[in-house]
Structure 1
Amino acid sequence: MLTAPIVELAEDLYIVRQYTDYSHLLRGKKVFWFTFPPHYRYLQRKGLFDLVVFDAIDNPEGEFAFWKRDLP
């Protein structure tokens, strides 16, 4: 279990606990890249990211059918 709010795994790769200020780590543009449709909820606060990418890695069928409710 992680106890530190920020853990560096490698150069420029970190695990950051939710609600931790990590602004001192940022350089350049902020990209929010997600593959799980319900994570769009993290975009509720406008202006946090310069670029948003939803990577639809699976069709919303079979075991992923429940994703349909979260897709446009």
Structure 2
Amino acid sequence: MHSSEVSSFVSKARATINEMANLPVPTIAAIDGTALGGGLELALACDIRVAASSAKMGLVETKLAIIPGADYGMF
């Protein structure tokens, strides 16, 4: 992704996650496999998360000591 596209992409991702978090009905994330970065951020926006015992989850940005991109301002 070109650096000029990053801001727009992050804004759209943040808006999508905020819309998911603000839905007037309960939302459920089913995690069966790997949920990293934006996939985990989307799951965290849900009211209920159910994960397989083999599921792997992580916010790779935390290894770099930075805030995950799309969920900034979500909470």
More helix by share: 2
TM-score, normalised via structure 2 length: 0.31
Larger Rg: 1
Greater relative contact order (Cα < 8 A, sep 6+)? 2
More strand by share: 1
